[in-house]
Amino acid sequence: MICQMVGRIYKWGVMATIVCSLLLYGCGDKPEETTQKTKSNTKAQKKDSVSTNSSIKNIIFYGNSLTAGFGLDPSEAFPAIVQEKIDSAHLPYKVINAGLSGETTAGGKGRIDWILQQPVDVFVLELGGNDGLRGIPVKETVKNLQFIIDRVKQKYPSAQIILAGMQIPPNMGARYTSEFRGAFKQLADKNQILFIPFILEGVGGIPELNLPDGIHPTAQGHKIVANNVWEVMKEVVIPDTAKP
């Protein structure tokens, strides 16, 4: 009798298990299908992530202490402020600050190949100021800048290059000062690249917008420098369809 009752309970238990399994099977995906969907969704997410990352373009600011933001927090330097403008406009660009304090055009020439190991879509060349302050022959400065421009063009032919113009105090002599100032415009015209006439326009020579050394801009000065840069750069980074 007991054996018969146990047998019935066992049979009902087996049947209940089978019924539950069938119900679950009918209401949802098959285990194989669920696994396959999970794999597919994971692949799709990875693909979307790669697609999104690859759509971001690089803007390289290649310069000296001005670009590096000497005496300030990096977030106060003009490249970081330009990034804020880019983010506010929802543009797909990432700013890379490749500024190095004390850099001359010769130093820039020496490290350009290392910098160009990363993709470049927009290249802002801000070098030459230290050459002028040291009285380096203008021909040498131009030669080095041309080398850098050529390197960028060779490796990234479609990259937009922006040359920042620079001026120096008149104490270097009228002839040298004039030749130095004019060299940047001539270089930009020769290479048919975008040109910022004077990156320190509205800042250079104004005590309250410069640090005590009288050379490097304050945080407020960098905001003005960022505007000078943006006036030229926006022609490159803002799509024609978004322009008024």
Give the closest residue to 134 by CA, choosing from 187, 171, 178: 171
Indicate the Cα dihedral angle 183, 185, 186, 192, nearest 10°. 140
Contact 137, 173 (CB under 8 A): no
Tens-digit pLDDT profile for residues 42-80: 444 433 333 344 599 999 999 999 999 999 999 999 999
Statement: residue 41 has pLDDT above 50 = no
Q: What is the model's pTM? A: 0.78
What does the pLDDT look like over 184-193, one tens digit per residue?
Answer: 999 999 999 9
3-state secondary structure of 166: coil
Structure-token pair, residue 202 = 């509205």
Which pLDDT belongs to residue 240?
75
Query: For residue 230, what is the enclosing H or E element?
Result: helix 219-237
